[in-house]
Amino acid sequence: MNKTVKIIFAALVCAMLLSVFGCGETDVPDGMITASTDADSFNFYVPKAWVVNSSSGTASAYYSSTDQSNVSFVAMVMDSDCTTLEEYEAKAEESLKGALPGFTGLSEKKDTVLCGKTARSFEYSATVDGTEYRFRQYVTINSHSFYVLTYTATSELFESHLEDLDMIAENVSFK
């Protein structure tokens, strides 16, 4: 009987420890909601005031129905000809020039940290259907993939969400 009690006690202690320490689960930061899925290789959070866009097929959110400022976080497997942050920037600029009318080149390239890894951030703008948009991207590398956080807003609203963007960038993490 004594051996049975010890086994039950040990099992209860293990269950309690697993529930407390949670097998890799992370806590959602205060004031934020989860915008990534269990299938994603990262945890992506946005402020509670934002609307998670679960129909887009990517981890993304927008501010409101009247302010379509948005953020997304995606992983892209590296090509053999693009394996550094500098090569990513060059390839992105080339691609964006062809895809976005009124594209203005990458500016304000800065070294930064994203998900605890060395990263780069840069901004650009483009005019789409007569509206000027501004973009800020953060790019890092993990496990042979580029991870890209993109913020998009009209030029008029771009500055109004930079505090939220800072909070989003500070809280994204790899699983």
* Residue 155, domain CATH: 3.40.1000.10
Domains held by the chain: number: 1
- Does residue 96 belong to any structural domain of this protein? yes
pLDDT tens, residue by residue, 113-165: 999 999 999 999 999 899 999 999 999 999 999 999 999 999 999 999 999 99
Q: Which domain holds residue 57?
A: 24-174
- Does residue 160 belong to any structural domain of this protein? yes
Q: For residue 8, what pLDDT is reported? A: 37
Report whether pLDDT(55) > 60: yes
- Does residue 15 belong to any structural domain of this protein? no
Close Cβ partners of 14 (under 8 Å, ≥ 6 residues apart): none
What is the mean pLDDT of the segment spanning 57-83? 95
- Does residue 167 belong to any structural domain of this protein? yes
- Does residue 168 belong to any structural domain of this protein? yes
- Does residue 8 belong to any structural domain of this protein? no
| Backbone angles phi and psi of 168, in degrees to 5 | -65, -50
- Does residue 133 belong to any structural domain of this protein? yes
User: pTM higher than 0.85 for the full model?
Assistant: no
